[in-house]
Amino acid sequence: MTTQNRREKGRPVGCPAPPDLAAMSKSEPEQRRETVSRLEELAKKAEKGDRKAVPEIREILEQSPDLAWRFTDVGRVAEWSLIEKITKEKDLASKEMISFQLESMRQDVAGSSPSSLERLLAERVVASWLQVQLFEGLYIQNMDKLTIKQADYYQKRLDRAHSRQLSAIKTLAQIRKLGPAVQINIAEKQVNTAG
């Protein structure tokens, strides 16, 4: 699988595909770079509380919605925070390898042609898996130093994370079992459709 295909399949739910640079005219890539630069400038102003920057940010995002995800992907920010907790500060290799592993897991869990809901649930399965690994690691690292009360606290955190992971897995399995069929109730009559 090429890097481009991996990015396409790993795109978060709701994130539109970026424009195809190969299909652009000669001037379009430069215009896109200028748009990205302008958005970066406006984002810096808005981060400092400049409300006048917000309408122009909105206008740019309406024309290029993929840029919203390029600048901020809340799911990836949370994931990166967990990776930071698991790895040493300067261990960039481990950070990159874990990120790559998680992306591969997301694609594997989501399957070959997932619906938006399956992709969203695959995100949750992988995020909760990472939480289980973090809490289990913290528990094991500190096991010999913990009081009974502290050990119980760590174990409860681990159990809750594991429960969330199993719930996400179960929900994904149920969605797949249901398949693309949809039931609609119209004027007290049931209509079943198959996708």
Residue 190 DSSP label: E
The candidate with the shortest Cα–Cα distance to 9, out of 113, 96, 120, 101, is 113
12 class by beta-carbon count within 10 Å (0-12 exposed, 13-18 middle, 19+ buried): middle
Burial of 155 from C-beta contacts in 10 A (0-12 / 13-18 / 19+): middle
- Which tens digits make up the pLDDT trace of 44-62? 999 999 999 999 999 999 9
pLDDT at 5: 47
As a whole number of angstroms, the distance between CA 146 and CA 94 comes to: 28
Instruction: Calculate mean pLDDT across residues 132-152.
Output: 92
> pTM for the complete prediction?
0.67
55 to 39, 43, 62, 83, 104: CA distances (angstroms): 11, 11, 11, 34, 37
Give the residue-averaged pLDDT of 86-93. 91
Please say if the pLDDT value at position 125 is more than 80.
Answer: yes
Residue 65 scores a pLDDT above 90: no
Q: pLDDT tier at 86 (50, 70, 90 boundaries)?
A: confident
Pairing of the two strands 189-193 and 182-186: antiparallel
pLDDT (0 to 100) of residue 190? 58
In whole numbers, what is the pLDDT of the chain averaged over residues?
85
The per-residue pLDDT for range 147-167, each reduced to its tens digit, is 999 999 999 999 999 999 999
Question: 6: pLDDT confidence band, cut at 50, 70 and 90?
Answer: very low
